[in-house]
Structure 1
Amino acid sequence: MVIVGFPGDPVDTVILPGGAGVDAARSEPALIDWVKAVSGTARRVVTVCTGAFLAAEAGLLGRTPSDDALGLCRTFRPRISGLRVDADPIFMRSSQKVWTAAGVTAGIDLALALVEDDHGTEIAQTVARWLVLYLRRPGGQTQFAAPVWMPRAKRTSIRRVQEAIEAEAGGAHRIGELAQRAAMSPRHFTRVFSDEVGEAPGRYVERIRTEAARRQLEETHDTVVAIAARCGFGTAETMRRSFIRRVGISPDQYRKAFA
């Protein structure tokens, strides 16, 4: 392995991608020393998928959580001692400086989150819309996780409701409960939410559930029935109807194409 050398000026963002060569790379002292040195002066460090192994080897993760949604948790825990692994998020900000993404598609979500962090939500949403034009999936399926590209309400109370829905796609999310969280009457809440977000609360819940199910179809071998129950659809038929309405194809067709 050849180490190119150290940049003359500090690097803004160090990106450590994953891949088949990660095991060999993390055994190269010169490379790990390079990662340590360059990351020490960088504004932030980003890992994608198994690139987290390089960051952990360089001591950049410490005891902060590293996320994984592709079955790597079972591998990560015994191989990196003293590291707590969070298996739930598709990406997360482990510290002020370090961001970690679970897999390749999660890396796209993370890239948009970095744009949002640097330039604001409006620009990140614009970039996401541009990307959708070129990364369109069958039936107009969009590529990105809801927290990155979905319209964010201006009112704090409505944003908190959005975050609650996104954090637990499989929750009941009844209008009365959501309205109570926003400290509004159900009727007033429905009107305000629709005005702020651009669609009714029930439609938003369906969108988030569909996105959660989409990811699980891609990244797990669980049955459609199990995914439908976990994501709050109740039945596989309800999930199928939502998929056809929002994605343009059935869950089984989606899995065959993208899993």
Structure 2
Amino acid sequence: MNRLIPIPESPSLWRNRSRWNVARFWNWTVRRRLHEFTSRKTHRSLVPVFTGAGARVTQEAGTGLPHTAVTQGQLEVLLAAVAESETMDSPIVEIGSFRGVTTRALAAATKRTVVAVDPYLGEGGHEKDLALFREHTDGMTNIRHVRDVSDAAFTSWSGEAISMVFIDAIHEYLHAWYDFAAWGSLVAPSGFVAFHDVDAFPGVNRVCQRVLKECPQWKPWAYAPNIAIFQRRD
């Protein structure tokens, strides 16, 4: 595990408490709003840093795909990381699976197990989305769905190393940083962390900026509009 990055307290610890709870107000409402304000103020393009680091950079997002916010160009970059890590036999984890389009694409590109973590509780997913997830992933024997929130799924994880994690769940800073710090700690050397919505959501953009500044064990590997991928150094 990558112990250089402390795993923070789960945002859900306070988020799920009563709205009338005073501790929740300070530890979740105020803290969350301050972080999102800071994220909006510090939002900037990742292209210069990724280009300067020699990462694969394209400005083509590609055409849209049905039932997902991931475009064809973004998917191609994501699948390039899958191909690059194919010699690794540990699972791929997807945090936020929505309707299963990217889940199926990931699973179709590898023999590894793809673990899809999504609770389908209402933020980006309802029962209709779950039904479509099941429809789109039907027949894929290397997909395992964990119907739970990210922190609970991580807590119950066996500790097994993973080869890649694709983070596309709650796009606020506190949640995105937790997902990176927690699931990124499981990524084996030469494995990958991919973030979606790095341009559209300031919180995710700020997480990527923090990785670039504070996490030298992760190097920029690829960028396409709204997706950024980091590779863990050997």
TM-score (norm 1): 0.25
**Which structure has greater strand proportion?**
2
The structure whose RCO (Cα within 8 Å, separation 6+) is larger is 2
Larger radius of gyration: 1
Higher helix share: 1
- What TM-score comes out, normalization by structure 2 length? 0.27
